Amino acid sequence: MLTYEESQDESERLLIGTKILEGTHYVMHPNGSAMFAVKIGSPSFELFPFDDTNGEDFEYSYAGEGIAKGYGFRYPGYKPGSLFVTSKGLLMFVWKETRVVLTLQRLDLEDLLKKGVCVYLLCLHV
């Protein structure tokens, strides 16, 4: 789930990516965890860190932080990263240190329902 929030001092807007569904029995990041937060008021000029981009063109990038597990996830913290926005509508958050990529794709639920398509995790919660 993506939400916008004002920073505590109201100087900038943040885009927060929160995990709401778990697709496997293994839970590294509990539901409700803020997976990343990026400052959307001032785009960065960070380059996507991989040569192979699968034909994606990157339109924007934003600096931020993403959750990183601590000792057994008892002491989670945040590490620097960047959110990249592609021309095809994908969002990719990349942690700088580990270069792990979290990819998000927007779903048009109304269109999917009209077509009779069932997205497994969403259908479990209908």
pLDDT in tens, the chain (126 residues): 888 888 778 888 899 888 776 555 555 666 667 788 999 887 888 888 888 777 788 889 999 998 876 555 555 678 899 999 988 888 999 998 888 888 888 777 788 778 887 665 544 433
Cβ burial 70-88 (10 Å sphere, 16+ → b, else e): eeeeeeeeeeebbbbbbee
Q: Is the whole-model pTM more than 0.85?
A: no
